[in-house]
Structure 1
Amino acid sequence: MRPSHTLSILRRSHVLALLTCAAMTPAAHGETDDVAVFEKEILPILEDNCYSCHGDGEDKGKVTLDTFGSTADLMKQQELWVHVLKNIRSGLMPPTKKDRIPAEDFAKLESWIKRAPLKLDPANPDPGRVTLRRLNRVEYRNTIRDLMGIDFRTDEEFPADDTGYGFDTIGDVLTTSPLLLEKYMQAAEAIVAKAVPLESSVTPERRIPVKQFTDRDDYEMSVSLYDPADVSAMVKISKPGTYRIILDATVRGSFAFDPGRADAGWFVDGKQVYQKELKWEDGMRLDSSFEVKWEKGEYPVRFTMKPLVGKDKKPAEKPGDGPPNVDLKFKGCTLVGPLEPEYAERPKNYERFFPRDSVPQDEAGRLEYAREILRRFVTRAFRQPADEGTVEKLSGLAIESAKMPGGSFERGIARAFTAVLASPRFLFRMEETLPEANPQVHPLLDEYAIASRLSYFLWSTMPDETLYQLAERGELRKNLSAQVSRMLEDEKSDEFVKNFAGQWLQTRDVESVSIDARVVLARDAGQEKDQRERFETFRRLNREIDEAEKNHETAKVEVLKAQRAEMRAKFGNNGRRVEFGGSLRTAMRREAEMLFRHLLRTDGSVLGLVENDSTFLNEELANHYGVPGVEGGNMRLVKLPPDSQRGGVITMGTVLAVTSNPTRTSPVKRGLFILDNLLGTPPPPAPPDIPSLEASEKKTNGDDRTLREALALHREQPLCSSCHNRMDPLGLALENFNAMGSWRDKERGQQLEPPSGKLITGEPFADVRELKHLLVTARRTDYYRCLTEKLLTYSLGRGPQPCDISTVDAVVDQLESTQGKFSSLILGIIESPAFQRRQRTTL
């Protein structure tokens, strides 16, 4: 209802007074017009729809619209107006019990907020502030792989990256500590040492693996010194010459001494060239390197082992210690040769870094060759054309290093490479812009910067040669659509799936999230109390057994052990092992990633991520879901039964597990996941000192409440009600899925209530299928906007800013017009001013 006429007159008088004061001071004509529009058109809308909660002394949510010193001050509150715009668009405001804002007024208010307080200029859109950011661990590893041709385990060498807004691509949180800088220096040296050949020619070398000896595809063959062994392989020689054969075998012994011994023999072309008596000696290598001259053909190599101690001498296993043992680890052999100089060949990776057949002998020629190598390497490593000053400094370093004792041209180049990999221009994504005559216009990024943004967005690595060549010719922008299609078809785009979807949908966490399967199932069956009592009994028996053993009370030990065995037989899950194992968790992760990848590469609708009649399953995951007719370990697209509750991410095992607690479901976490990741309307953080749900789970008679009952108590508290009214209906719609993501009908032995509910915006649903359908119909625009904001955040490496509203709106319009095609989302972001431009540095 509209406020009283008297209040309206008083309020308008107050605003007119503010306008009169504003007119006494200089103001831009546009600002004066915006204030006038506010008085004439916007203030009445706020009076009718907002002031009953956020004006006239009301400050629900600690938000007021009529307590600022002037209208100009009110218009400067960008954060407030972003909040207003977001809430009216999502239907959160006005509340459902109030009348909706008429469509015409809604359009006026939305347009004014974007134009006046937020100052969004369609003619010169602001791309937002982007922080210079370093490569995260995934990007560094992939870039080293593509630049240097080796795999460098950043997850083992570097500390974990911090995250912001849900992603590890955010420049503001990717800090660089002195310790990390030191690690980057060490990494540069290690990478160059492993990747860059230090000689122009080496003697050929190849492995003769175990599988050629045994027909088993094993890395090594383990044989006890109590067992005989006799294995052989044929070595094919295509070039006559001298060869060196190196045996690869090691003795491994347990901590406890083992008396086992054996006689080992190594035969080359029928002749025994090595004999050794083996015994307990952990880590002892069999040292055999034998040279032989061979013509073309095939020659046998053979390894034998004869036990010298019978198995009857093998020590028995001691209780609690495991059996002593001594084994031989046989890994095959290495063939080096021909050793003659004329057969020397280029080392691995040589052509990657040294394109010419030979190194020039004169100093001028070597300097020019060094410049050629380093100019190309620096351009690729820095992801933009190398400046000649840098090339000259690095070339001088390479040539001087080559002159040092023990130096070579290759060693000098390697040292220069180390300096490049330790440079901030490699570690950080630096971007240049095109010249812009008008200082008020936000300049376009140059095409090299666009190439980097594209490649790190879709591949999490450096640009490839095609992107470089297009950028060099200034033709990348003309071919964006074709290049995006090419990049998404490339297997490198799997990185986009793993890193964006893996963080947005939290699939990265499912393989490590703590879930106690036994407790979860006991809770569902209403057996928690019995289980706790059993566990306490087992702990008591174990303590008493330890104490009796210390006191040498043999008879008592036997009695207690018998009681423990009886307990295990009675409560051993009838021989069924309860697990939420690694292979099942992996299948859950892959289900989400494979559906995302499928829709991405087939240009399907992003709505299919929420509501779908198919999903990716293997036999194990299908059994977990109760989907019949799926056999084998391969994941494939499966049409779900018509009555299935599955289909879409919110009923996938990965999302259900990561939004649970270790021993129970969490409707709060599940509701928050939907609000934050699908609707883009997360509630504020919980106030401090709120009691946990567990504290509300006991009834006065000592019985356990269901989660639905415990949450109802939370909603009765004023501090909790507003947020729980938004989260709980969504989370409770998923209560038929336990913490492991499998279906259940009971919790704590009690039949679960129907999973019906109502969105905070008023739309009712009967079950999770209707909830999913609401998300892709009535709340479709909210989902489009949320997904666009998430992807824009990931791609730009910064959080949402007010200037992004126009970009998001444009992408949402494209999604609406194409029924949600993935290409509309990806290209909409890539072609946006936020992706194509950089915020001007001067006004």
Structure 2
Amino acid sequence: MLAQPTLLTALLLLPAAAIAATSEESYKKEILPLLENYCFSCHGEGTAKGKFSMDEYKDLSAHLGDRKHWLPVWQNLRSQIMPPSDKDQLTPAEKRKVQSWIEKEVFQLDPENPDPGRVTIRRLNRTEYQNAVYDLLGVEYDTKDVFPPDDTGYGFDNIGDVLSISPLLMEKYITAADEVVALALPEGAAAQVPRIDIEGKAFTVPFDTKTTGRWLPFAKKQEVKVEQEIPYDGEYQIKVEYAIKGATEATVHEADLVVKAGGAKVGEVSLGWDQRRVIDLTGNAPLKKGKQTFEISLAPGRQPAGGEEELFLTIHRVIVQGPLGGDKREYAKGYRMIFVDGPAPEKEADRDRYARKIMRSFVSRAFRKPLDDSTIDRLVDIVKEVDRQPGKEFEDGIKQAIATCLASPRFLFRVEIQPEPNNPAKIVPLDEYSIAARLSFFLWGSVPDDELLSLAFNNKLRANLHAQIDRMLLDPRSERLTHNFIGQWLQARDVESVPVSAKDILGLGSNREAARAFDVRLRSDMRTETEMLFDFILRKDRPAEELISARYSFLNERLAGFYGIKGVEGEDFQPVDLTEHPERGGLLTQGSVLMVTSNPTRTSPVKRGLFVLDNILGTPAPPAPPDVPPLEDATTGGNKNPTMREMMEIHRKNPDCRGCHQRMDPIGLALENFNALGQFRLTEHGTKIDGAGQLLTGEKFSNVAELKDVLATKRREDFYRCLSEKLFTYATGRGVEYYDATTIDQLVERLEKNNGKLRELIYGIVESAPFQKRRGDD
């Protein structure tokens, strides 16, 4: 029996002239009357507000096929931005009719067979590279010190179209491959002395849980300690990894650091301003078997000069390695991950088989696909050639072969094979290995594990997607999804580096006072708060709109105190009920969002309004016209200290600015109760702050709490759509196009049916045609 033709197939079978005639007839009979009634007063009959006319064309057929023209019509109608709230509105049925007509006649979408689009072959970004070498080899390789920052597209740094590679970057990858292998398999890795890592936060002051090795002021004399079980008597090497924090500009502030282990001095050094991300102090000490005390003490030295900021010491970790005599040995972590059966056997034939087993196991994960025999043969030949060289061993050959793999395009690039790559009409399902790779890079930002590859090998991954997603979200590696997605969608990772002048914002007399009031640890705390809210809602299957409306948050004592919330104690983050603080709760009132949407010395209603339009409602405003005067140029007669609302009202008098500011300003001004550091305030220059406003779609609110309620209820569908588009972009590595409308609508419908659960959105994206299929390039 022949399959029933789809709508798109049926249209393709019709003559072009017949299609055009059908489209023109439906336009004239059903759509044009609605446009004349609701749109032409502003965008037709000689009027072109926003330089957009809907009835100026020479050829009706060409006009109806102009997707660039109809796309903003469709978008603005869908988000209820047009017609404006003070104009006559289409009925729900009329709105659906116009939207459906555009999707069917102009976009020519087939809901039964969505266009999956195409993704440009792309290299791993530096975060994915770092995660991959850690998961494959157990190596902590800091790519930020090695590779340049990745370009971004559509707000994310994993977009195929921008992840190009230059000859210079390729040279860096070749060098990095050797460095990674040397870290994974150092000289003597098969018989390395035992190693113990002690985290900096483990060092504490007895009976003082607030003071740890993670934050020690230069200005205060103190000592932090930790007890650690030592397995053997002997001489040990002690390596302290630390950094200097605090002042952003050079200062004369100094302190003396002394490190002891088991009562013996390991080393001492004078500390000063130093911008290196990791510094180390290394020395030896004799230790006895059993519990031994490790001590880090800091004594004040030269104080900062007038106006200079203070410095702080933060201990990353202390590495204890020994005994150094050589009688106690253990396999290094990288060695255990690679040489799964231990050292190489003696017989040459057995060594060849072992090399083949190692290469097949390692490279199938590194390349995300099983290797063909010819590739395995070439890698084994590398192992054998190196092994035969004077002074070299089997392990050296394996190191060379692995380094070769890490510099290979098959590791550095995410490639998806298809039969007709240059035929845009050819749509094919991805093979299950490609699905495994897409899934692992989506949820883990790294290569697939053995379970995913095993399911792909047996063609059972598609049948077990839900179970695998659940398993992967339980894995600690899924924290990377929160860290990377939230860090870019909400710009949370920028909060630790965005320039702000706490001195000007808080009205303090010196940078030193400002640094004490706005402790630099607060930046990291703010990012943690935002990530923990998203992570909680994802893992507890809470409604996604709680990202906006939650009456709770996750705070520690330091951040709660900065916000003015009492009753929170300790360094650890904990859930906090914000029922008595209706101004707080949700992403929009968190310090991370409020800081990255401010200027260095003041708030910015424009940036905050744009942020909500772009990242919450999915209706970004167009770019500002050139030569827009700075807001500070706005004058209010004799008022030397105008409020932000007064300056914005003057700024909006410019006709070129008014249209966009009507969309942005009400949202941004509703957040004006929060200063540029995220602290709540009631007045500005002695005048009570007015947070009332009205969205362009007509909803009114009197303060930020009511704005959040509007966004989470009446505009919930817009938020669902925006969230779906953002996570879809992150998951697929490409931007959302007009032909993705069907997929996005399905994701929004899925959220509506499942109480907004974020996990359902992840299920929906992974099951969607764009994630499961691809077509050839145009």
> Which TM-score applies when normalising by structure 2?
0.82
Partners of 2:556 and 2:574 within 8 A in 1: yes
Q: Which residue in 2 is equivalent to 1:336?
A: 324
Does residue 671 in structure 1 map to residue 609 in structure 2? yes
Alpha-carbon distance in 1 for matches of 2:651, 2:282: 70
Q: Which residue in 1 is equivalent to 2:703?
A: 767
Alpha-carbon distance in 1 for matches of 2:652, 2:706: 24
Q: Which residue in 2 is equivalent to 1:634?
A: 572
Partners of 2:118 and 2:776 within 8 A in 1: no
1:166 aligned to which of 155, 160, 164: 155
For 1:350, give the aligned amino acid: Y
Q: Which residue in 2 is equivalent to 1:354?
A: 339
Q: Which residue in 2 is equivalent to 1:104?
A: 93
Q: Which residue in 2 is equivalent to 1:681?
A: 619
Residue 110 to residue 821, structure 1, CA distance change in 2 (3 Å): same
Alpha-carbon distance in 2 for matches of 1:419, 1:401: 13
Does residue 712 in structure 1 map to residue 649 in structure 2? yes
Partners of 2:424 and 2:777 within 8 A in 1: no
Alpha-carbon distance in 2 for matches of 1:210, 1:685: 47
Alpha-carbon distance in 2 for matches of 1:181, 1:715: 50
For 2:649, give the aligned amino acid: A
Structure 2 gap ranges (5+):
1-13, 207-211, 215-226, 241-251, 253-259, 271-278, 295-300, 309-317
Does residue 34 in structure 1 map to residue 23 in structure 2? yes
Residue 445 to residue 397, structure 1, CA distance change in 2 (3 Å): same
Residue 747 to residue 345, structure 1, CA distance change in 2 (3 Å): closer
1:780 aligned to which of 713, 716, 723: 716
Alpha-carbon distance in 1 for matches of 2:702, 2:424: 57
1:458 aligned to which of 433, 436, 443: 443
Task: Give runs of aligned pairs for residues 609-758 of structure 1, distance below 5 A.
Answer: 609-642=547-580, 644-696=582-634, 698-701=635-638, 703-752=640-689, 754-758=690-694
CA deviation map 1:462-487 (0-9, x unaligned):
11222111111111111111111121
How far 1:351 moved relative to its partner?
A: 3.2
1:595 aligned to which of 496, 518, 533: 533
Partners of 2:425 and 2:775 within 8 A in 1: no
Partners of 1:514 and 1:662 within 8 A in 2: yes
Partners of 1:207 and 1:335 within 8 A in 2: no
CA deviation map 1:219-274 (0-9, x unaligned):
9xxxxxxxxxxxx9998659xxxxx8477799xxxxx9xxxxxxx9x999xxxxxx
Does residue 122 in structure 1 map to residue 111 in structure 2? yes
Alpha-carbon distance in 2 for matches of 1:73, 1:286: 73
Alpha-carbon distance in 2 for matches of 1:605, 1:371: 49
Partner SS state of residue 838, structure 1:
strand
How far 1:319 moved relative to its partner?
A: 9.7
Residue 75 to residue 406, structure 1, CA distance change in 2 (3 Å): farther
C-alpha root-mean-square deviation of aligned residues, in Å? 4.1
Structure 1 gap ranges (5+):
1-24, 220-231, 239-243, 251-255, 257-263, 269-274, 291-296, 304-314, 322-329, 523-530, 532-570
Alpha-carbon distance in 1 for matches of 2:283, 2:291: 19
Residue 398 to residue 75, structure 1, CA distance change in 2 (3 Å): farther
How far 1:208 moved relative to its partner?
A: 12
How far 1:331 moved relative to its partner?
A: 9.5
Partners of 2:503 and 2:511 within 8 A in 1: no
Is the radius of gyration larger for structure 1 or structure 2?
1
Partner SS state of residue 47, structure 1:
helix
Alpha-carbon distance in 2 for matches of 1:728, 1:369: 67
Q: Which residue in 1 is equivalent to 2:776?
A: 840
Alpha-carbon distance in 2 for matches of 1:410, 1:573: 55
How far 1:760 moved relative to its partner?
A: 0.6
Alpha-carbon distance in 2 for matches of 1:299, 1:577: 42
Partner SS state of residue 576, structure 2:
strand
CA deviation map 1:260-311 (0-9, x unaligned):
xxxx9x999xxxxxx9xx999xx9x999999xxxxxx9699999xxxxxxxx
Residue 381 to residue 641, structure 1, CA distance change in 2 (3 Å): same
Task: Give runs of aligned pairs for residues 41-440 of structure 1, distance below 5 A.
Answer: 41-196=30-185, 201-202=190-191, 204-205=193-194, 245=235, 334-337=322-325, 339=327, 346-433=331-418, 440=425
Partners of 2:432 and 2:456 within 8 A in 1: yes
Partners of 1:510 and 1:658 within 8 A in 2: yes
How far 1:674 moved relative to its partner?
A: 0.8
Identity of aligned residues (%): 45
For 1:178, give the aligned amino acid: P
Partner SS state of residue 679, structure 1:
coil
2:741 aligned to which of 793, 805, 823: 805
Alpha-carbon distance in 1 for matches of 2:381, 2:656: 68
Task: Give runs of aligned pairs for residues 520-559 of structure 1, distance below 5 A.
Answer: 520-522=505-507
CA deviation map 1:715-761 (0-9, x unaligned):
11110000011111111111111111111122123232x31111011
1:477 aligned to which of 462, 474, 479: 462
Partners of 1:354 and 1:373 within 8 A in 2: yes
Partners of 1:125 and 1:833 within 8 A in 2: yes
Q: Which residue in 1 is equivalent to 2:755?
A: 819
CA deviation map 1:108-127 (0-9, x unaligned):
11111111111111232111
Partners of 2:129 and 2:446 within 8 A in 1: yes
Residue 249 to residue 637, structure 1, CA distance change in 2 (3 Å): closer
Residue 495 to residue 346, structure 1, CA distance change in 2 (3 Å): closer
Alpha-carbon distance in 2 for matches of 1:739, 1:597: 25
Partners of 2:549 and 2:585 within 8 A in 1: yes
For 2:748, give the aligned amino acid: V
> Which TM-score applies when normalising by structure 1?
0.76
Residue 763 to residue 692, structure 1, CA distance change in 2 (3 Å): same
Segment drifting more, 391-400 vs 443-452: 391-400
Partner SS state of residue 364, structure 2:
helix
How many residues are treated as equivalent by the alignment? 703
